[in-house]
Amino acid sequence: MLVKVITPEKEIFNEKAKSVNLPTLSGYITILPNHTELVSVINKGKIKIEFESGLKTLMSEGGVVEVFKNEVSLLLTK
């Protein structure tokens, strides 16, 4: 699945990933390929993105996640 991470300043990355784990209002969720469509608030906390080459961890101050047609867009405040 394609994962995009975007802040008000720039696009941080736009790459294929195996999974995304992130904090929401309901707790942490994991998004896998072919996940159902979703729009949710991202809470403050750690976002973990797993790639074929390894794991990348980001700190979130909040934002919004959208999952649509096997694409995950993370719109972060910082």
Q: Can you give the pTM of this predicted structure?
A: 0.92
- What long-range pairs does 29-35 form, CB within 8 A, spacing at least 24? 31/1, 31/65, 31/67, 31/72, 32/1, 33/1, 33/70, 34/1, 34/70, 35/1, 35/67, 35/70, 35/72
Q: Convert the pLDDT of each residue in 23-65 to its tens digit.
A: 999 999 999 999 999 999 999 999 999 999 999 999 999 999 9
Alpha-carbon distance 29 to 11, whole Å?
A: 23
The predicted structure's pLDDT at residue 11: 95
pLDDT surpassing 90 at residue 78:
no
Write down all domains in the chain, each with its CATH number in brackets.
Answer: 2-76 (2.60.15.10)
Q: What is the mean pLDDT of residues 72-76?
A: 98
pLDDT surpassing 90 at residue 74:
yes
